[in-house]
Chains A and B, each alone.
Chain A
Amino acid sequence: MSTLKILVVDDEPGIRSGVSRILRNFRVDYPFMDEAFDFEVLEAATGEIGIEIVEALKPDILLLDNKLPGIQGIEVLEYIKKRQLNIIVVMITSYASLELAVKATSDGAYDFIPKPFTPQELKSSIENITKRVFLKKMTNKLQDTGKQIRFTFLSVLSHELKAPLSAVEGYLKMIRERQMGNKIEDYDVMIDRSLDRIKGMRHLILDLLDLTRVESGKAKRTITEVDLTGLARTAMDTMRPYAIQREVSLNLHSNEPILIPGDAEEIEIVFNNLISNAIKYNNDGGSVDVSIVPNGNCIEISVVDTGIGMSPSDIDKIFDDFVRIKSDKTKHIAGSGLGLSIVKKLIDNYGGRIEVSSIPDQGSTFVIRIPTDNKPCS
C-alpha cells in the first residue's frame, strides 16, 4: 500500500473538510497495478500557506481553488510550473471562465472539478490521477533499470571482447621477442591458444548478432508453420561431426513432423544452442537425447545429456547474459555465455517456458514448453 499526499488549497473550510472526509477511506486499486493507493489529505486556507506546504511536504496531488484571499490559485500554479515540481494539479472552481481554463491548462493543470462537486465526481477524478501517478512512477523505474542493465551489459561486453584480443596480443609479443628461443615448434602452444581465442571471439560476435536480432524487435520475424522435428534434425546433422569427435551419440526420438507457427531461424537458434551445449558439456562417450512431444495445449521439447551437470546455484544464473559456469571441468570449454540467455529470450517471445534439472556429474535436462494456442502451458 502506498499513500499519496493530496493538498487542498481552498479558503472555504467546508470544502477542505469535505475532501478530507470523502477521501479518508478511499482506495484506488486496479488489477494492472501491483500496489494499492490510499490518500492523506493536507489542508491550506491560502495560496501562501499552500506554497509552504508544497515546499515542505512535496504532495503528489494538489486540489486548487482559484479564488483565494491572498495570491490567486493561478499564481500557485505558475509557481509550481516555475519550480518544475512533480505535482499533478486539479483546479476546483465555481465559476471557471474559459479564459482561466485556458491559462490554467497551459500552466500545467491536469483537470478541473466544478464546485460544488459530489463525492463521486471527486473520487473519479482522483482515481484517474492515481493511475497516472502510478504509470509515471513505473515508467521512471523501468527507464532507470533499463539504463542500468544496458550499462552493465556494455561494460561486461567490452571486457569479454578485450580479453581475447589481449591474450592474442600477448602471445604475439612473446613470439616477436623470441621468448622461448629460436625453435618455431616451441611456439606451437601459443599459436594454438591464439587461434582458439580468435575462434571464441568469432562465436561471441555471432551470438551477439543473434541477441541483437532477438532484442531489436519483431520486425524481421517471418512466422510460418515450422516443423520442430525437421529443425531439430537439421541442427543435429550440423552438429554431428563435433559429436563424433567427442564420441557423443545424438538421438532424436521423434519422427513425425510437429508443426507450430514460428520463425524457423529463431527455432533453429534454440536447437543449435541447446544441442551444442549438450555435446560441449558432455563426457566423452556420452549421449544426447532430444524428444519433441505434444502435451495438452503445448509442445514439449526436451534435450537430455549425460554430461558434467550443474549445482542448483549454477542453474539460477545460467540464463543471464555472459554467465559461464567456471570450474575445472569447464575451464577448457569455450563459450560466450550468451547462448542460454538468447534461448530464454526467444522462448519468452513464444509465450513458452524453459526449465532445467541437473545433477552434477550425471547430466542436465532442458525442457521447453511452447503453447500452440496463446494460453499458458498447464
Chain B
Amino acid sequence: MRPADYTILIVDDDSDYLFQLQARVEKFGFKTITAEGQKEAEELIEKTKPDLAILDLMMENEDSGFILCYKMKKKYPGLPIIIATGVAAETGISFDINDENNRKWIKADCFLDKGIRSERLKEEIDKLLLKNNS
C-alpha cells in the first residue's frame, strides 16, 4: 500500500503543535484527520477508523492521552498508537513508560518525545504500519 492509503489520526490540544505535526505527517504522504482533545477524538473514532493514531498526553487532564489510548485500543484492538509527550524528560513526572506494569494498562505501542526529528517519526510510523499489515 502507498502512504496515501493510510489515514493517521492526530490528537493534540495545542492547535499549533497539531498544525505542525499534521504538516509533517502529510509531507510523508499520509492522509490525516485531527482532533483538538480527548472528547473530540472519542467522537471522531465513533465514525472513522484510522490506521494509526498519534496522541498528545496532557490535554483536558494530565493523563488524557492514556485514557484515550485505552479507549481506542478497546474499540480497535489492532490500531497502532503513538503517544507523543513533552512531559517525562524535564518535569520529572514520575512515569516510567518502559515499565512493564504501566505498559500493560496503557497499551500504547510507542512513546515519542514531541521534539522528535521527522525522519525518526517516519521510521516509527512505517514500522508500526508494517507490523500491523504483516
Contact = CB atoms under 8 A, between A and B. Distances in A.
Interface in B1-60: 13-17, 19-20, 23, 27, 36-37, 58, 60
B101 interface: no
A376 to B, nearest CB: 35
B71 interface: no
Contact of A170 (B17, B27, B36, B91): B17
A193 B36 CA distance: 17
Contacts of B37: 326
Contacts of B23: 174, 179
Interface string A164-184: 001101110010000100000
A179 B15 contact: no
B77 interface: no
A331 interface: yes
B114 interface: yes
B90 interface: yes
B60 A326 contact: yes
Nearest to B27: A179
B27 A158 contact: no
B16 A159 contact: no
Nearest to B92: A155
A162 interface: yes
Given A159-B86, A159-B87, A179-B27, A170 B60 contact: no
A197 interface: yes
Contacts of B15: 331
A162 B20 contact: no
B93 interface: yes
Interface residues of A, number: 18
A74 to B, nearest CB: 45
A180 B58 CA distance: 29
B13 A326 contact: yes
A174 B60 contact: no
A163 interface: yes
A158 B85 CA distance: 13
Nearest to B16: A167
A163 B14 contact: yes
A155 B13 contact: no
Nearest to A194: B16
Contacts of B27: 179
A154 interface: yes
Contacts of A179: 23, 27
B60 A162 contact: no
Nearest to A165: B86
Contacts of A156: 62
Interface string A304-341: 00000000000000000000001000010000000000
Contacts of A193: 16, 19
A166 B60 contact: no
Given A158-B90, A174-B20, A166 B114 contact: yes
Nearest to B59: A326
B17 A155 contact: no
Interface in A266-303: none
B16 A158 contact: no
A166 B21 CA distance: 12
Contacts of A167: 14, 16-17, 20
Contacts of B36: 331
B33 to A, nearest CB: 17
A170 B20 contact: yes
Interface in A113-157: 154-156
A197 B14 CA distance: 11
Given A155-B91, A179-B27, A331-B36, A171 B13 contact: no
A197 B16 contact: yes
A174 B23 CA distance: 9
9 contacts: A155-B92, A156-B62, A166-B14, A167-B17, A171-B16, A193-B19, A326-B60, A331-B15, A331-B36
5 nearest CB pairs, A to B: A167-B16, A170-B20, A155-B91, A158-B91, A163-B14
Interface of A: 154-156, 158-159, 162-163, 166-167, 169-171, 174, 179, 193, 197, 326, 331
